[in-house]
């Protein structure tokens, strides 16, 4: 499939494994590989599991691209935002098996999925944009506003607070935490359970539930492209 995202189909479950250097940076090529993998999963009518390397899901956008010029940064964020929107509207369930750290865009991948499992350990999960001097983009704010608990939203977005896996459950980034050696088996068990869902009903209900969010994100994507941040 791709050196950046491997694709493994087994018993109606497509496992997408992100592998791009030490921090699994999200680059334009990674986003293209993600979209190709989701295209394939749709054709295969498969439930999707997204995971990373041991210890890390993703550290966020590729900083080489983000610092190579304002337009490159805006383009990368727009592509990432469009991917998040696509994940939220995907016709089949998306599960993220978060294998460790999930920072910035890594955490937004969690906020774009239907079910999120993390691993026990000294891992950081959250949105560190303001820590590293980035003003949060409109899409990020609206996605976090919708998916995080109200008590954690301001702490996360405005203060850049990072969460350990257990507190990330309380904040709304994760749904459960398991020992690392149980991560993929736990994700597969959730996928098997989700096979009992009527997928047409799942898709139609998902689009109804997220209608306002998806419309908000469409406007936010436009706003983010209009201003160089």
Query: Domain locations in the chain?
Result: 5-226
pLDDT digits (tens, 9 = 90+) for 76-135: 999 999 999 999 999 999 999 999 999 999 999 999 999 999 999 999 999 999 999 989
Q: What percent of the chain has pLDDT over 70?
A: 99
Whether 229 has a pLDDT exceeding 50, the answer reads no
Q: Which of 24-28, 71-75, 93-97, 120-124 is predicted least confidently?
A: 71-75
- Name which CATH class applies to 5-226: alpha beta
Contact in structure between 87 and 134 (CB atoms under 8 Å): no
H/E run at residue 119: strand 115-119
- CA angle 77–17–168, rounded 5-degree value: 65
Q: How far apart are CA 108 and CA 128, in angstroms?
A: 11
What SS3 class is residue 10? strand
């Amino acid at each position: 499939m791709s050196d950046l995202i491997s694709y493994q189909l087994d018993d109606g479950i497509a496992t997408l494994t992100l592998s791009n250097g030490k921090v699994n940076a999200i680059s334009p090529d990674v986003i293209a590989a993600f979209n190709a993998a989701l295209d394939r999963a749709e054709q295969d009518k498969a439930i999707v599991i997204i995971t990373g390397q041991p210890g890390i899901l993703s550290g966020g956008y590729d900083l080489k691209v983000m610092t190579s010029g304002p337009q490159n940064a805006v383009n990368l964020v727009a592509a990432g935002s469009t991917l998040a929107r696509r994940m939220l509207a995907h016709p089949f369930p998306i599960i993220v098996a978060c294998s460790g750290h999930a920072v910035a865009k890594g955490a937004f991948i969690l906020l774009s999925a239907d079910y999120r499992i993390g691993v026990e350990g000294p891992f950081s999960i959250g949105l560190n944009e303001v820590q590293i001097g980035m003003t949060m983009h409109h899409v990020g704010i609206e996605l976090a506003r919708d998916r995080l608990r109200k008590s954690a939203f301001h702490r996360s977005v405005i203060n850049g607070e990072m969460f350990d896996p257990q507190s990330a459950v309380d904040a709304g980034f994760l749904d459960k935490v398991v020992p690392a050696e149980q991560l993929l088996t736990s994700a597969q068990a959730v996928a098997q359970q989700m096979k009992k869902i009527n997928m047409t009903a799942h898709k139609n209900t998902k689009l109804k539930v997220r209608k306002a969010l998806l419309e908000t994100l469409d406007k936010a994507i436009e706003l983010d492209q209009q201003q160089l941040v």
